[in-house]
Amino acid sequence: VMIGALRHKITVLTPSRIADSGGGAGLIWSPGASLWARVIRLSTIQDFVGDRRRRLKRIAATIRLRDDIEPGMRVLYESDLYEITSVESGDDRERRLTLICEGVAL
């Protein structure tokens, strides 16, 4: 049940390493917790890949305090995929976390 400003649903994706045939490893992303969040769209940023520029969407998602979320994990919000780049304390009473996320190009 949503409470107050936490009115948007996000899904946290967690990585698992899978060995490949070349002796290396790849990542697969598995759906984890579905959480209620307050989501604010941030200004986009430019990303340079080779000689191409692209704009990355960014969001700040505030959730209830958890200890199992860290940078590098991913979030699915409104069918867009984001990487968590920063996890910040959301309030003075340490009851919330704010996840700063950047869009992931597929």
What is the rounded average pLDDT of the residues 26-48?
A: 91
The tens digit of pLDDT for each residue in 5-27 reads 899 999 999 999 998 888 888 88
Task: Please state, in angstroms and rounded to a whole number, the distance separating the CA atoms of residues 19 and 28.
Answer: 11
Helical spans, DSSP H, in the chain: none
What global pTM score does this model have?
0.82
The tens digit of pLDDT for each residue in 49-96 reads 667 777 889 999 999 999 999 999 999 999 999 999 999 986 667 789
- Burial category of 53 from C-beta neighbours within 10 Å (exposed 0-12, middle 13-18, buried 19 and up): exposed
CB-based burial, 18-40: b 16+ in 10 Å, e otherwise? eeeeeeeeeeeeeeeeebbbbbe
